[in-house]
């Protein structure tokens, strides 16, 4: 079941024209959100922030805006059935909304952390990294490569070797009494949760800073985690880079600062 261009579809396939730019070139923008308590208005769902992300990318590309009221209608219908929604907009403003379940092992990952792999090859660098477009092939390929090596996530890097983000989320590192996250100047995706966590930390007078993550910086961290709108906060206990392995504390008490954003 999905929502497409103003209609609820009881199907598992979507028919597109053979000259559809979204099909040929990945010419879409999308956002993925977790619906808390089946409510788009719940503060953790962040519906308005996700819509603003779509609006910003559409304005940057000069694409047509969707019919926002109809978009919300489709999201409200699907939110009664699915905790996760993926909202996609085509260049002509058509909306396509699909739903899915939360990862079955999410709680285990949140508690025990994961192993990640540093994706250093240039082909893993994302196209238009400040936007979530349908051309997500490089990040998807990095994730597949990581899984083949027994890792659950891939960490993308820039040509200078600076760590940027994971294939699905934003990075956080703890040292010297402060949370550090890669700067948007790199550039990286300005994640919805990333922005809200930074505001959250500052609201509570907890330190949160944006810097480039070079090799010197990454060796200082006591704890490392990644975030997105679906998984909230997941620690990274091991990062494999070639023959080198970095380890971090997945049960570090500082992680409770980030997690508290989702429990208060």
Tens of pLDDT along 173-185? 999 999 999 999 8
CATH fit for domain 2-100, picks 3.40.50.970, 3.10.150.10, 3.40.50.300, 3.30.470.10? 3.30.470.10
Nearest by Cα to 254 from 208, 219, 214: 208
In this prediction, residue 75 carries a pLDDT of 98
In this prediction, residue 203 carries a pLDDT of 86
How do the domains of the chain map onto residue ranges? 2-100, 106-262
182 Cβ neighbours under 8 A, 6+ residues apart: 162, 163, 164, 165, 170, 171, 188, 210, 211, 212, 213
Peptide bond into 187 cis (omega under 30): yes
pLDDT digits 0-9 by tens, 194-245: 999 999 998 888 888 999 999 889 999 999 999 999 999 999 999 998 888 9
Q: Bridge partners of 8?
A: 3
In this prediction, residue 238 carries a pLDDT of 97
Instruction: Tell me the C-alpha distance between 212 and 215, whole Å.
Output: 10
Instruction: Tell me the C-alpha distance between 57 and 251, whole Å.
Output: 37
> Average of pLDDT values for 144-173?
96
In this model, does residue 264 exceed pLDDT 80?
no
> Average of pLDDT values for 87-103?
98
In this prediction, residue 207 carries a pLDDT of 84
Q: Are 191 and 170 in contact, with CB atoms under 8 Å apart?
A: yes
In this prediction, residue 211 carries a pLDDT of 94
In this prediction, residue 186 carries a pLDDT of 85
Residue 13's CB is within 10 A of a number of other CB atoms, namely 7
> Average of pLDDT values for 33-38?
97
CATH fit for domain 106-262, picks 3.20.10.10, 3.40.50.1820, 3.30.43.10, 3.20.20.100? 3.20.10.10
- Residue 53's pLDDT band (boundaries 50, 70, 90)? very high
In this prediction, residue 242 carries a pLDDT of 82
In this prediction, residue 263 carries a pLDDT of 86
In this prediction, residue 204 carries a pLDDT of 84
Query: What is the reported pTM?
Result: 0.95
Instruction: Tell me how far apart the terminal alpha carbons of the chain are, to the nearest angstrom.
Output: 33
54 Cβ neighbours under 8 A, 6+ residues apart: 29, 30, 31, 66, 87, 89
Q: Are 169 and 132 in contact, with CB atoms under 8 Å apart?
A: no
In this model, does residue 16 exceed pLDDT 80?
yes
In this structure, what is the dihedral angle of CA atoms 249, 253, 259, 261, given to the nearest 10 degrees?
-140
In this model, does residue 18 exceed pLDDT 80?
yes
In this model, does residue 32 exceed pLDDT 80?
yes
What rounded mean pLDDT belongs to the chain?
Answer: 95
In this prediction, residue 142 carries a pLDDT of 97
Q: Are 27 and 21 in contact, with CB atoms under 8 Å apart?
A: yes
């Amino acid at each position: 079941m999905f929502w497409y261009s103003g209609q609820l579809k009881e199907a598992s396939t979507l028919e597109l024209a053979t000259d559809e730019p979204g099909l040929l070139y990945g010419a879409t923008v999308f956002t993925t959100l977790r619906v808390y308590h089946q409510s788009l208005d719940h503060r953790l769902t962040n519906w308005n922030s996700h819509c603003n992300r779509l609006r910003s990318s559409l304005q940057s590309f000069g694409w047509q805006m969707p019919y926002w009221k109809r978009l919300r209608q489709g999201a409200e219908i699907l939110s009664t059935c699915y905790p996760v929604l993926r909202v996609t907009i085509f260049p002509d403003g058509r909306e396509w909304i699909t739903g899915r379940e939360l990862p079955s092992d999410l709680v285990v990952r949140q508690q025990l952390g994961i192993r990640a792999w540093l994706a250093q090859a240039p082909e893993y660098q994302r196209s238009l990294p400040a936007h979530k477009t349908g051309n997500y092939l490089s990040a998807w390929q990095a994730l597949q490569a990581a899984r083949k090596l027994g890792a659950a996530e891939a960490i993308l890097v820039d040509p200078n070797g600076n760590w940027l983000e994971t294939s699905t989320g934003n990075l956080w590192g703890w040292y010297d009494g402060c949370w550090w996250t890669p700067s948007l100047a790199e550039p990286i995706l300005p994640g919805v949760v990333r922005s809200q966590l930074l505001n959250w930390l500052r609201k509570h007078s907890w330190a949160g800073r944006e810097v480039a993550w070079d090799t010197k910086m990454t060796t200082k961290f006591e704890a490392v985690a990644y975030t997105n709108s679906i998984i909230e906060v997941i620690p990274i206990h091991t990062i494999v880079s070639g023959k080198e392995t970095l380890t971090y504390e997945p049960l570090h008490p500082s992680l409770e600062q980030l997690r508290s954003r989702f429990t208060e």
